Structure 1
Amino acid sequence: MKLFDRLKADAPDAWSAYVSHEFVKQLGEGSLPLASFRHYLIQDYLFLIQFSRAYALAVYKSPTVDDMELSLAGLNGIFSEMGLHLELCEGWGLSRADITAAPEMTQTMAYTRFVLEAGMAGDLLDLQTALAPCVLGYAEIGATLAEQNAGTLESNPYRRWIEEYSGDGYQSLARDFAAWMDKTADVYLTEARYDRLRSTFEKASWLEADFWQMGLEI
């Protein structure tokens, strides 16, 4: 079994709370309040700033040049995603200055700092495991929403977001990340260590669910 699939299977409650959150459901239906989506966009941009630092840390933690190249590709992917967010935010009347001046919410800080701490305290596999719920979860969420809401996607105000994460570009990025994670696990993973990785993955998934919840509680 692939490492990501094993981690999901061993953290079912946390994973379901994240990928099937009410925020996600409303996003797919197009019923999410616009104020909630605007708030999410701002915080997710601030979130991605910290995630770019996590990928920069992955470059440092990489044991091989190949790993360094993959870390750098991930960093470039984050910057592309930040560009999407600026585009979406501009469509909702939010400038880059508005976004960068906004304070980070507790939920934003909680997950991003958790990821950075996991990477600083551990090795590349620890960092990948902490990143996985975000990188791979968004791919799963995007694909699921596109499939479940195919008939109404045309009129969905959040269509651009769904198409971005269900699209070939992001889906390919996610597959590459999962393969990279498996490659790292071939070197570093032992059964004695697995419980620690499962705990990291589970905590990160709960923190992602908390991030969605933040968007509903403005």
Structure 2
Amino acid sequence: MVNTHERLRELVGDLWNNYVHHEFVERLKDGSLPMDVFRYYLIQDTKYVREMQKAVIEAASKAPLNEAIDVLTAMFSNVERGAEVHERLFRDLSITEEEVNNTGFNLVNYAYTRHLHYYASLGWPQFLAAWAPCMWGYNEIGKYVVGTKNALFNAWAEFYASGDYWSRVEAILRTLDKYEVTPEIERAFRDSVNFEIMFWEASLRKDPTIFL
């Protein structure tokens, strides 16, 4: 029997491949992504992650206690590993906390984070479906990009390909699998895959940003 997360991936069809093998990803792998584009992406991604974490806490407040503990423990018990990579990339690219705070959201990032907050307000399974494409897809992308000739891109990829990161993804997928696929859950998952594709494209364009 196909579990929920696998069924959701089947339902989005080619969209998933368009996400995990987007031009942005291919250029990370072959090392040709311009460094100013990667720098822009990292700032937007940092802003995304901070909003995503708020949405996780909001959604977890609506979850069965054992499920919330399982997911939150996986997400936050070893944040140092991600922080080390983050700090190295920021240091090497001269990105400061002040610059992140003084940079707005591009419109895709703004819409995507509002989408996460919306599903967090609806309920736990709906949020898990909206959240899963980001976490799950990045593990797949990390494994694909590892070995790139660019040292910074490789450091980025190694984190997402790591067993530590996979343990976070596994907790989310394991919990999502407790719920059946509904039209609402499928829509949440599909829309997030589309947002991930648009996030890459906005980064390649270095879209203008707005302040909230």
Q: Give the structure-2-normalised TM-score.
A: 0.88
Does residue 59 (structure 1) correspond to residue 60 (structure 2)? The answer is yes
Cα distance in 1, alignment partners of residues 118 and 41 from structure 2: 23
Does residue 33 (structure 1) correspond to residue 28 (structure 2)? The answer is no
Helix, strand or coil at the partner of 2:95: coil
Shift of 1:29: 1.1
| Number of matched pairs | 204
Q: What one-letter code is carried by the residue in structure 1 that aligns with 2:86?
A: H
- Which of the pair is proportionally richer in helix? 1
Q: Give the structure-1-normalised TM-score.
A: 0.86
Shift of 1:195: 1.9
Shift of 1:161: 0.4
Q: What one-letter code is carried by the residue in structure 2 that aligns with 1:46?
A: K
Q: Deviations over 1:63-96 (max 9, x none)?
A: 22x1221242255269554563343112101111
Q: What one-letter code is carried by the residue in structure 2 that aligns with 1:177?
A: I
Map of 2:91 onto structure 1? 90
Does the CA contact (< 8 Å) of 2:29 and 2:145 recur in 1? yes
Helix, strand or coil at the partner of 1:4: helix
1:161 to 135, 156, 165: 156
Cα distance in 2, alignment partners of residues 165 and 36 from structure 1: 19
Q: What one-letter code is carried by the residue in structure 2 that aligns with 1:17?
A: N
CA RMSD of aligned residues (A): 1.9
Does the CA contact (< 8 Å) of 1:55 and 1:74 recur in 2? no
Shift of 1:5: 1.0
Q: Deviations over 1:97-137 (max 9, x none)?
A: 1112211111111111101101212x210000000110111
Map of 1:22 onto structure 2? 23
Cα distance in 1, alignment partners of residues 61 and 20 from structure 2: 30
Q: What one-letter code is carried by the residue in structure 2 that aligns with 1:10?
A: L
Cα distance in 2, alignment partners of residues 127 and 78 from structure 1: 22
Cα distance in 2, alignment partners of residues 98 and 11 from structure 1: 36
**Structure 1, unpaired ranges of 5+:** none
**Residue pairs, 1:190-209, within 5 angstroms:** 194-209=182-197
Cα distance in 2, alignment partners of residues 126 and 94 from structure 1: 34
Does the CA contact (< 8 Å) of 2:85 and 2:155 recur in 1? no
Residues 155/14 of structure 1: CA separation in 2 closer, same or farther (3 Å cut): closer
Taking only the aligned residue pairs, the percentage that are identical comes to 26
Residues 112/86 of structure 1: CA separation in 2 closer, same or farther (3 Å cut): farther
Does the CA contact (< 8 Å) of 1:26 and 1:32 recur in 2? yes
Q: What one-letter code is carried by the residue in structure 2 that aligns with 1:68?
A: A
**Structure 2, unpaired ranges of 5+:** 207-212
Map of 1:171 onto structure 2? 166
Q: What one-letter code is carried by the residue in structure 2 that aligns with 1:94?
A: I
Cα distance in 2, alignment partners of residues 155 and 94 from structure 1: 18
Map of 1:10 onto structure 2? 11
Helix, strand or coil at the partner of 2:182: helix
Map of 1:182 onto structure 2? 177
Does residue 128 (structure 1) correspond to residue 128 (structure 2)? The answer is yes
Does residue 105 (structure 1) correspond to residue 115 (structure 2)? The answer is no
Helix, strand or coil at the partner of 2:99: helix
Shift of 1:20: 1.2
Does residue 48 (structure 1) correspond to residue 29 (structure 2)? The answer is no
Cα distance in 2, alignment partners of residues 119 and 157 from structure 1: 33
Helix, strand or coil at the partner of 2:105: coil
Helix, strand or coil at the partner of 1:10: helix
